[in-house]
């Protein structure tokens, strides 16, 4: 599945997360694995607590670091794709239109 800026994503509701000292700890009950997210990855994770477009999460990350969106989009997409493959993030709505440019 192709993920683009208009794709709506949300956290897998079975994953338990807890924030502590600028890190987010994730427990995947299916695999019994714990993942520790740094501040940037944690911001992206938290952005998808409720369904949200990828573009909104990228914008929030860029605003947090006071950077242009193009400077953070590759890292954000890498995280989103990886956590989608791990089934920690779910696609809620897929856009069939071409991806927008940031």
The domain spans of the chain are 8-89
Concatenate the DSSP letters of all residues of 8-66 into one string: EEEE-TT-EEEEETTEEEEEETTTTEEEEE-HHHHHHHHHTTS-EEHHHHHHHHHHHHT
Does the pLDDT value for residue 24 go beyond 60?
yes
The reported pLDDT for the residue numbered 1 is 75
Does the pLDDT value for residue 84 go beyond 60?
yes
Average pLDDT on 32-41 reads 94
The reported pLDDT for the residue numbered 101 is 46
Average pLDDT on 37-42 reads 94
The reported pLDDT for the residue numbered 96 is 56
Average pLDDT on 10-37 reads 94
Average pLDDT on 69-82 reads 92
Counting residues of the chain whose pLDDT is more than 70, the rounded percentage is: 91
The reported pLDDT for the residue numbered 35 is 96
How far CA 63 is from CA of 15, 28, 67, 71, in Å, comes to: 26, 29, 6, 11
Superfamily the domain 8-89 falls into: Coenzyme PQQ synthesis protein D (PqqD) (1.10.10.1150)
Does the pLDDT value for residue 70 go beyond 90?
no
């Amino acid at each position: 599945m192709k993920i683009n800026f208009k794709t709506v994503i949300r956290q897998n509701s079975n994953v338990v997360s807890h924030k502590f000292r600028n890190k987010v700890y994730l427990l995947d009950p299916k695999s019994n694995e714990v993942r520790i997210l740094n501040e940037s990855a944690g911001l992206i994770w938290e952005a998808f607590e409720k369904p949200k477009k990828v573009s909104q999460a990228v914008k929030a990350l860029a605003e947090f670091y006071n950077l242009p969106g193009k400077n953070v989009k590759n890292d954000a997409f890498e995280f989103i794709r990886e956590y989608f493959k791990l089934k920690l993030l779910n696609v809620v709505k897929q856009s069939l239109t071409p991806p927008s440019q940031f």
